[in-house]
Amino acid sequence: LAKTTQPISMDSYEGQEVNITCSHNNIATNDYITWYQQFPSQGPRFIIQGYKTKVTNEVASLFIPADRKSSTLSLPRVSLSDTAVYYCLVGGYNKLIFGAGTRLAVHP
């Protein structure tokens, strides 16, 4: 399984764009990159998933360079409600391992 590395924490202000980068140097050919969001005392929630290049949905964008050894989750114009822990996962279904995640704090 590909090991992931993310910043432990980040701070931002309302209205700013936030970019969280995840390193996954030993990603396998068949692996997808998936990001989850977790609020306190709630289960993680799927945000976005990609394989290569760029993926965009209604809440975020995911940028993946050609070598796929890293990925960047981009949250446009964050609000206070985006304060949460964000997890980057790489790999298949089996033994899906969550790392420590990035604790994002959005300030007024």
Partner 1 sequence: DSGVTQTPKHLITATGQRVTLRCSPRSGDLSVYWYQQSLDQGLQFLIQYYNGEERAKGNILERFSAQQFPDLHSELNLSSLELGDSALYFCASSVEGAPSGINTGELFFGEGSRLTVL
Can residue 101 be called a binding residue for partner 1 (CB under 8 A)?
A: yes
Task: Find, among 62, 81, 76, 82, the residue nearest to 22 by Cα.
Answer: 62
Q: Phi and psi at residue 81, in whole multiples of 5°? A: -75, -5
**Of residues 67, 81, 95, 108, which one binds partner 1 by CB under 8 A?**
95
Alpha carbons 58 and 33: distance in angstroms, whole number: 18
Q: Choose one: 6-14, 61-69, 72-80, 95-103; the region binding partner 1 (CB under 8 A).
A: 95-103
**Of residues 12, 21, 23, 32, which one binds partner 1 by CB under 8 A?**
32
Can residue 8 be called a binding residue for partner 1 (CB under 8 A)?
A: no
**Of residues 42, 58, 67, 81, which one binds partner 1 by CB under 8 A?**
42
Contact of 50 with 60, CB cutoff 8 Å: no
Identity (one letter) of the amino acid at 5?
A: T
Q: Phi and psi at residue 57, in whole multiples of 5°? A: -130, -165
**Of residues 34, 70, 71, 102, which one binds partner 1 by CB under 8 A?**
34
Q: DSSP letter for 52, please.
A: S
Where do contacts with partner 1 occur on this chain (CB under 8 A)? Answer: 28, 30-32, 34, 36, 38, 41-46, 49, 87, 89, 91-101
